[in-house]
Amino acid sequence: MFFRSIRFKIILWYMALLTLTLAAFSMVFYNRLSYDLYGNLDDLLQSRVEGIADSIDTYWEVEKLEAKKKQGQEQRTGKTG
């Protein structure tokens, strides 16, 4: 008799509505959090790549300066090769 009562039907409708509401909220929350986390990860990786690129550029600039310095010293002393 309980399964045919109005109380049971209202409880079922309430449970279904609550389930759908929580599922929708969870999906929106998960998607937003995922988007934010991947955005932060992309920013972090981009900044690290820029740091590495700057380090490589600095290394090669130092190498060029040392090569010029070495050439200047060799020219002053008259040594070649």
- What is the tens place of the pLDDT at every residue in 23-74? 999 999 999 999 998 888 988 999 999 999 999 999 999 999 999 999 888 8
* Residue 76: predicted pLDDT: 83
Are 50 and 42 spatial neighbours (Cβ–Cβ below 8 Å)? no
* Residue 21: predicted pLDDT: 98
Q: What backbone phi and psi angles, to 5 degrees, belong to 23? A: -65, -45
DSSP per-residue codes, 4-59:
GSHHHHHHHHHHHHHHHHHHHHHHHHHHHHHHHHHHHHHHHHHHHHHHHHHHHHHH
